[in-house]
Amino acid sequence: MSEDIWSSVKVGDEYGFELKDVSRTHFVRYAGAGGDFNPIHHDQTFAEKAGLPTVFGMGMFTAGVLARVPTEWFGATSVRRYAIKFTSRIWPGDTVSFRGRVQRLYDEDGLAHADLELRATNQKGEDLIRADATVRAWEP
């Protein structure tokens, strides 16, 4: 992240990246790190007995990857608010686009702020998460 991001950012600017070919390994690694060992996320037989075609990823896995958008763009210490709404599931084999867009720029308490719209969208164009965040310039 460039220190001069605040002098160049404008409403409508976008930032993002893709995670291609999401795998069960992503889910298992997240389970180990986050402690979510619900078998619906890693056990094929369990998922099928629950009426699903296969395992699916944790919502918080997707939310965590989406959180990279404001932190990579503006810096981790700039994030002041991050609100998410889960709308669909992430499945093995998905390619997911994680995107952010500047919706509003303003000054508050003498510091630059930006409100961001965030989305995690699969290869079919379905939103997995809709989110918004507020970031602010670093305080000296």
Q: What's the pLDDT tens digit per position in 39-93?
A: 999 999 999 999 999 999 999 999 999 999 999 999 999 999 999 999 999 999 9
Asked if 109 and 55 touch (Cβ cutoff 8 Å), the reply is no
CATH among 3.40.630.30, 3.10.129.10, 3.40.640.10, 3.30.470.20 for 13-136: 3.10.129.10
| 3 state SS of 20 | coil
H or E stretch at 29: helix 24-34
Exposed/middle/buried for 61, CB within 10 Å: 0-12, 13-18, 19+?
Answer: buried
pTM, entire model: 0.92
So where are the chain's domains? 13-136
- As given in the structure block, the two tokens for residue 81 are 């608010």
Asked if 113 and 135 touch (Cβ cutoff 8 Å), the reply is yes
